[in-house]
Amino acid sequence: MNNLIISIYIFISFILMYNLENKSIILYLLLIFQLMMFGFNLYVLLKRKNIKISKDIFLILLITIFSLIFNMDTLGNYIINIVLIFNIYILTKYRWNYVYKRIFLYANIFNIINMFLYKYSTRIYGAPKVILGYTLPKILVPQIWVASLSLIAVYSLFSINLIKNKLLKIFIVLLSLSLIIVAGKFTTILALLIAGIIYLLNLKFFLLSSKKMLKYTLKAMLTICFCSPFIFYYFTIVYNEFLNTKVVDVSSLFSGRHLLWIDYINYIYDNKFQILVGNGFFSDEKKISYLLHPHNQYLTIFYTLGILGFIIYYLFYLKVIDESIKIKKQYPNLFMILIIIIFEMCGDDYFILTINPLNLIIIFLIHNSKYNINSEQILKNRKKYIKEN
């Protein structure tokens, strides 16, 4: 795959995170690139007779196709998702290093753009969130959603692994943290704090210093996050049943998401057959709650692909955790971002079943990191051989 095409593809993916007037044009442009890349990748692999897809990715594609058979009304969304997963898998397998560097380069560029947006654009002051007596402000700009802005800032923050200049590192850290705090997205701030605590506890002489303990901790964390909407759902039932009162103070903490989770889980349980095959992608024709999506990626997976898809993605993320621990020393930024994404997915659902590839690229970079490490080792061996001879 040509470097220019990859660069444009990633650049457009960042552009898509903004609230532009003609956003549909950007969306169709990204879709065209997706289809072009899919055709090219498939042609090259067939020509080489080298179509090798890992078992995890094969199962994800298989369950998506299985769910598609029973939800033909959202055929287009399924095709886009299948093409997206295939493209990202191939890109991060054969062009790992280039994709890795390009993601963080563009994150820095767009993070600086966001700084200027805050300085010169109209500011919107959202409702502040009160957490344990502290008021968390929320300052927005109309050109970008707070979730997208926070995520770009997170990627930019962890790009410092690739930066050698100390002054530039300090600037990037201060800028990213400032934007994250000003944006006031509680999920991102909490996820960042938890990722930092886990990383510190993993240092020598600390609680999670052993790989085994770290692995168990992260997998337990993943399990809780995957089940988060259902845990809350049943907690609400038990709480109301035995205490005969409504759960208090959750509306502020979850920003109304708890109502979405209850509505969507009730809908899933009311359609028993769909639990197995999924309900398909969201559409305007099927209004389940006051929003068209439940603001929880794990619940979205269950709703869209059914329980089989839910299990397959859970097993996939377990393996991604294993890979992240293996590369933690070499790529601590990917390790940290994975933890943040796992927590962010509890409060948002634009990570997996979407047309925008950015967040999925990070997951696949970790999943396919072994290919880059093998390539680097081969390169080192070649250089050593040339030097010795």
* Secondary structure of residue 141 in the 3-state scheme: strand
Q: Is the dihedral of CA 13, 107, 323, 314 positive or negative?
A: negative
Given a contact cutoff of 8 angstroms between Cβ atoms, the answer to whether 36 and 1 are in contact is no
For the chain, first and last CA: distance in Å? 33
HSE-CB for 47 with a 13 A CA cutoff: 6
Give CA–CA dist 216/299, Å, rounded: 23
Which 3 state secondary structure label does DSSP give 125?
strand
Q: Could you list the pLDDT tens digit for every one of the 389 residues in the chain?
A: 688 999 999 999 999 999 888 888 988 999 998 999 999 888 888 887 767 888 999 999 999 999 999 999 999 999 999 999 999 999 999 999 999 999 999 999 999 999 999 888 888 877 666 665 666 777 888 899 888 999 999 999 999 999 999 999 999 999 999 999 988 888 899 999 999 999 888 876 677 678 888 999 999 999 999 999 999 888 887 776 666 555 445 555 566 677 889 999 999 999 889 999 999 998 877 888 878 889 899 999 999 999 999 999 999 999 999 999 999 999 999 999 999 999 999 988 888 888 889 999 999 999 999 888 655 554 454 455 445 55
How many angstroms separate the CA atoms of 323 and 172, rounded? 27
Residue 374's pLDDT is 58
Check: CB of residue 294 under 8 Å from CB of residue 300: yes
**Which DSSP state fits 246?**
P
CA distances, 318 to each of 53, 221, 299, 354, 372 (Å): 18, 11, 17, 21, 20
33 in Cβ contact with 9 (< 8 Å): yes
| Residue 66 in tokens | 């299985």
pLDDT of residue 336: 96
Cβ atoms of residues 95 and 88 within 8 Å: no
pLDDT of residue 123: 83
Q: Write down the domain spans for the chain.
A: 210-389
**Residue 352: which of 281, 273, 262 has the closest Cα?**
281
Chain centre distance of CA 20: 22
Q: Are 251 and 257 in contact (CB under 8 A)?
A: no
* pLDDT for the residue numbered 372: 81
Predicted structure pTM score = 0.90
Instruction: Give Cα separations from 29 to 8, 34, 232 (angstroms).
Output: 10, 9, 39
